[in-house]
Homo-oligomer: A and B are copies of this chain.
Amino acid sequence: MFQLDVRSRKPIYEQLVDKIKELIINQILKPDEQLPSVRVLSSQLTVNPNTIQRAYRELEQQGYIYSIKGKGNFVSKINIVSNEQKLTELKIDIQKLIAEAIYLGLTKEDLYEIYEKAHPNKKSGSASFSPDKHKTQMK
């Protein structure tokens, strides 16, 4: 389970969105895997259910998860639709940050290093909702 920082300037629902997005991107959460229910996650994180709800709604709008009434929320397969547009936007954001970082001394080597570290599955798989679950699935 992941950490939330109640003191952060970033609203809790947004922190949740980012964390879950990260888990999906790093393929710790696999396509069609079920997310914890709003109630469960709410009590696990001691966060208002409305806040979880809002995070899930946001993730759905962004295409990272889909919701089936009465069943739950699930990780989307890669969403091909708006991919291109999103990537284009991301590239712009990345360029801005890199420009600022160059101004502050970033080198090409630094960037290469960052790129290497940014690859999924090479990370120490720190965050996960329920590592035990995986064992269960192996039965």
Q: A residues within 8 Å of B by Cβ? A: 6-7, 9, 11, 21-22, 24-26, 61, 66-69, 74, 78, 82-87, 90-91, 93-106, 108, 110-111, 114-115, 117-120
Contacts and interface: CB of A to CB of B under 8 A. Distances in A.
Contact of A118 (B22, B68, B102): B102
A136 to B, nearest CB: 27
A97 B93 contact: yes
17 contacts: A9-B69, A21-B100, A22-B99, A26-B99, A61-B61, A82-B82, A83-B105, A84-B105, A90-B100, A91-B106, A94-B94, A94-B101, A98-B114, A98-B118, A99-B118, A102-B118, A102-B120
Q: Which of A85, A94, A115 has the most CB of B within 10 A?
A: A94
B117 A95 contact: yes
A83 B104 contact: yes
B87 A94 contact: no
Q: Which of A6, A61, A93, A115 has the most CB of B within 10 A?
A: A115
Contacts of A21: 100
A97 B97 contact: yes
A87 B68 contact: no
B108 A91 contact: no
